[in-house]
Amino acid sequence: KAGVTQTPRYLIKTRGQQVTLSCSPISGHRSVSWYQQTPGQGLQFLFEYFSETQRNKGNFPGRFSGRQFSNSRSEMNVSTLELGDSALYLCASRRQTGGTGELFFGEGSRLTVL
Amino acid sequence: AQTVTQSQPEMSVQEAETVTLSCTYDTSESDYYLFWYKQPPSRQMILVIRQEAYKQQNATENRFSVNFQKAAKSFSLKISDSQLGDAAMYFCAYLSSNTGKLIFGQGTTLQVKP
C-alpha cells in the first residue's frame, strides 16, 4: 500500500514568487492536512481538507491557501513568498476527519526562499 | 486552546538501556487522542504509538509503551532495549476532537550511544 506522496521534495524560490506543493494521500484516505515545520516555530498546523472542503485553518496569512480534488489529492499554494516561508511542509492523510484516527505523514517538501 | 509541552530538548541513552521521554498537555476536552511520532534524519514523521483518552489501559507497541495519566495530563513514552535506529526527534502530539488538528510539542532529540 503506497504511503503519502509529496512533490516536489525540494525546491528553491525567490522572494515574491509563488509555489504550489502537491500531496497524494494513502488510498482510501479522504482527509489531508498540511503542516509547516521550522526550527524556530516547530510544527504548525496550516489547514485540513476533507471531501474537497476546508475543514479547519491554522493561524497563517491569506498567502497560504489550499484545495482538495475529488480524488482526495491536495495542493497548497503560497503566494508572494517571504524569506520566513522557508520550511519543511508536511502533508498528512487519514481516513476520516474530526477527533479520531492517526495521521500518516509524507516525506515533506523542503522549500527554500532566497 | 490546547498546548503540548516536552520539557526535554535532548536525551541520551545507552544502547539496550531504557529511556523515558516526558510530555504534558493542557486541554479542557474530555475526548481526544495522543500520539508519539518519530522523525529520523530522513525527515519522514513515523507514528510510534497512539493512546485514546477514554482508555485507561496504557498503550504498548513492542519496545514502546506509554504512561498515560489523564488527571495529571501527562503522556510519557518509554523505550525499552534502546537500539541505534531509535535515534531521532520524538514529538508528542494531541489530536483535538473539536478541530481535528494535531498539536505538537517542541520535540525531544534522542541520542542512542553504542
H/E element, A99: none
Inspect the interface and report whether the beta carbons of B97 and A56 lie closer than 8 Å.
no
How far B55 CA sits from the closest chain A CA (Å)?
A: 13
pLDDT digits (tens, 9 = 90+) for A39-74: 989 999 999 999 999 998 999 999 999 999 999 999
- Taking CA–CA distances from B30, the nearest residue in chain A reads A99
pLDDT at B91 (0 to 100): 97
Q: Using a CB-CB distance cutoff of 8 angstroms, which residues of chain B are in contact with residue A45?
A: 101-103
Does residue A98 register a pLDDT over 80?
no
Report the length, in residues, of chain B. Answer: 114
pLDDT at A99 (0 to 100): 63
Using an 8 Å Cβ cutoff, are A92 and A23 in contact? no
Judged by DSSP in three states, A85 sits in: helix
pLDDT at B30 (0 to 100): 84
pLDDT digits (tens, 9 = 90+) for B55-79: 889 999 999 999 999 999 999 999 9
Residue A30 is placed in which grid cell? 479522504
Of A20, A5, A21, whose CA–CA distance to A93 is shortest? A5
Does residue A109 register a pLDDT over 70?
yes
Number of Cβ within 10 Å of residue A36's Cβ equals 21
Separation between Cα atoms, residue A100 and residue B94, nearest integer Å: 11
Q: Using a CB-CB distance cutoff of 8 angstroms, which residues of chain B are in contact with residue A55?
A: 100
Judged by DSSP in three states, B69 sits in: strand
